[in-house]
Structure 1
Amino acid sequence: MAKLSNIVITTLNILTTILSLLAIAIFIYLHFFINGSPTHCQQMVEWPILIIGLILLTISLLGMIGSWCQIPFLLWIYVVSVVVIMIGWVIFTGFVFMVTNKGAGKAVSGVGFQEYRVGDFNHWLQRNVVNTKNWVQIRSCLVDSKVCASLDRVYTNQGLEFFKKNLSPIQSSCCKPPTSCGFTPKNATYWEVPKTGPTSSDSDCNAWSNDKDKLCYDCKSCKAGVLASLREEWRHFLIFNITIFIILFVIYMVGCCAIRNSYNRSSNKYP
């Protein structure tokens, strides 16, 4: 059993080493081989990938060398690192559950999508995610991803099909004006303002633009749609978090067995 624990630890760390090298390779490709200067969106993705890759590589090498060479000191550092990650993972999971526990969309009569308001979401999300400083970068990502441009290629029947579809929170909030404005759709992203003006005093009605790079990206409803999308993704991410915690706990237990095995071998050398 003791020998098996060392084999398992070594195998797991070989796999995580490969994953960490892959993450570092992805960073190098994004940072040095993508044409043009990196956008805000790319920078938000590539640096976390590099940091995670370096941390994973360091811990994997500690576990692999410690278990293969039977070095208790390195195994202790490895196990303590896993415990720290487990504690941080639990805190992060609890925090995610707390800040995403509030927020829901409002169904609009006669259409297949929902609309959202910033005030319906957790105050921490409002202050730290869609504040003025962060919104510039998020807005840049929305434009770069062309999340609204794809709707034009799908819904071209003067917007009539548009009302029947289940749009994502971002599509229903950033790619069209609020339904209360009373605008007439010509296609998915081109809306005609009534001659008498918007039917609502909502500031989002004036923020709307038929310019493909503006649309409703500066609307409060768009910020709410981003929060709704983030909430959905984080809620699904909780299942992934629980799975990762179980894997970390198994690695911790096997690491403890490997440490005990290394001490036993050291004792047998000097009876």
Structure 2
Amino acid sequence: MRASNHLIGLLNFLTFLLSIVILGGGIWLSSRANSTDCLKFLQWPLIVIGASIMVVSLAGFAGACYRNTFLMWLYLFVMFFIIAALIGFIIFAYAVTDKGSKRPVMNKGYSEYYLQDYSGWLKDRVVDEKYWAKISSCIRDSKVCSKMGRTYNGVPETYDMFSMRKLNPIQSGCCKPPTDCGFVYVNETQWDQGGAAGTDSDCSRWSNDQQLLCYQCDSCKAGVLGSLKKSWGKVSVINIVVLILLVIFYVIGCAAFRNNKRIDNDEPYGEARMTKAQPSRIQL
């Protein structure tokens, strides 16, 4: 049983080291003077998560190594809620990203995204003007569109080359106009509108201004939703793996907790038995 104490101590020490990295990342983001609104929005969750993991890891490490029953109880108590919260997040992530998918475009390598294909809490969050201002600022500052340019032997890519590219959801929705608009390709982020007038409302929102492009288009919001769905799907898989590991840690922690209680209960009994036995040896 004591092996469980040593194992849970080692595991919590490794988790403690991880929490330092997470906490340090959050503090670094908060200290940057030129952080974008998107990065500032992310700093507090990182700090809270890192600090929580650090406290729980220290409690579990100290409780296991020093056989402190109270700290082990605190560790198990908090870990239970972390596991419950993680299960809730996994269910929530699958629920809010259940609807919506990309639409393939005929004779194109990329797909396109439509806002009407999505619904629910996540869509309402993204289209909200307050949050969209932060999201669009993040996309603009990341320069994802300006990095789309490619050359082959010093020659810019042609429309045929561009149309066969596998664009990610953000590039497809925010950096180019919808294909239905019928605009003429100049380069990856410049399109000649000419006399074309597509039925899609995003056609009138498109601008060749590199600070505007299609950042206010519904297709851009749909691209963000498509990117979130893809990212959250990967995160959910990782969370499931983490959840399994945490459950294993929790079971080992329960074994260590029972071991501590058994030792605490045995020691007074052993001391009393030795005290009772000592007079008999003196009489002999």
Specify if TM > 0.5: yes
Counterpart in 2 of 1:29?
Answer: 28
CA distance in 1, matches of 2:53, 2:100: 34
Q: One-letter code of the match for 1:161? A: M
CA distance in 1, matches of 2:126, 2:2: 48
Deviations 1:119-149 (A, max 9, x none): 1113212112332111000001101111111
Counterpart in 2 of 1:11?
Answer: 10
- Is 2:50 aligned against 1:53? yes
- Is 2:163 aligned against 1:166? no
Q: Is the 8 A contact 1:27 1:50 kept in 2?
A: yes
Q: Is the 8 A contact 1:158 1:188 kept in 2?
A: no
Counterpart in 1 of 2:221?
Answer: 223
Counterpart in 2 of 1:192?
Answer: 192
| Count of residues in Structure 1 that have an aligned counterpart in Structure 2 | 266
Q: Is the 8 A contact 2:114 2:218 kept in 1?
A: yes
> Secondary structure at the residue paired with 2:47?
helix
CA distance in 2, matches of 1:141, 1:217: 11
117, 123, 127: which one aligns with 1:126: 123
Q: One-letter code of the match for 2:19? A: S
CA distance in 1, matches of 2:127, 2:151: 29
83, 86, 91: which one aligns with 1:89: 86
Counterpart in 1 of 2:237?
Answer: 239
CA distance in 1, matches of 2:151, 2:174: 17
Root-mean-square deviation (CA, aligned residues, Å) is: 1.4
Counterpart in 2 of 1:99?
Answer: 96
Deviations 1:70-99 (A, max 9, x none): 111111111111111111111111111112
Counterpart in 1 of 2:201?
Answer: 203
Q: One-letter code of the match for 1:12? A: L
> Secondary structure at the residue paired with 2:149?
helix
Counterpart in 1 of 2:41?
Answer: 44
Q: One-letter code of the match for 1:6? A: N
Q: One-letter code of the match for 2:204? A: N
Question: Shift in Å at residue 158 of structure 1?
Answer: 4.1
17 and 154 in structure 1: CA distance in 2 versus 1, 3 angstrom threshold: farther
> Secondary structure at the residue paired with 1:160?
helix
Q: How does the TM-score come out when normalised to structure 2?
A: 0.89
Counterpart in 2 of 1:68?
Answer: 65
Q: Is the 8 A contact 2:151 2:157 kept in 1?
A: no
Counterpart in 2 of 1:148?
Answer: 145
Question: Shift in Å at residue 154 of structure 1?
Answer: 5.1
Question: Shift in Å at residue 210 of structure 1?
Answer: 0.8
> Secondary structure at the residue paired with 2:213?
coil
Q: Is the 8 A contact 1:174 1:222 kept in 2?
A: yes
Question: Shift in Å at residue 30 of structure 1?
Answer: 2.8
Deviations 1:142-166 (A, max 9, x none): 0111111111245833433110111
Structure 1 gaps of 5+ residues are none
147 and 154 in structure 1: CA distance in 2 versus 1, 3 angstrom threshold: farther
Structure showing greater Rg: 2
Q: One-letter code of the match for 1:95? A: F
CA distance in 1, matches of 2:89, 2:25: 25
Deviations 1:196-255 (A, max 9, x none): 242x13221111111111110110000001001111111222211210110010011010
> Secondary structure at the residue paired with 2:121?
helix
Give the fraction of aligned pairs with identical amino acids, expressed as a percent. Answer: 39
Q: How does the TM-score come out when normalised to structure 1?
A: 0.94
Q: Is the 8 A contact 2:202 2:217 kept in 1?
A: yes
> Secondary structure at the residue paired with 1:215?
coil
Q: Is the 8 A contact 2:150 2:157 kept in 1?
A: no
Q: One-letter code of the match for 1:65? A: A
Q: One-letter code of the match for 1:226? A: V
Q: Is the 8 A contact 2:202 2:218 kept in 1?
A: yes
CA distance in 2, matches of 1:114, 1:38: 32
**Which stretch of structure 1 is more off in the superposition, 153-162 or 136-145?**
153-162
CA distance in 1, matches of 2:160, 2:120: 36
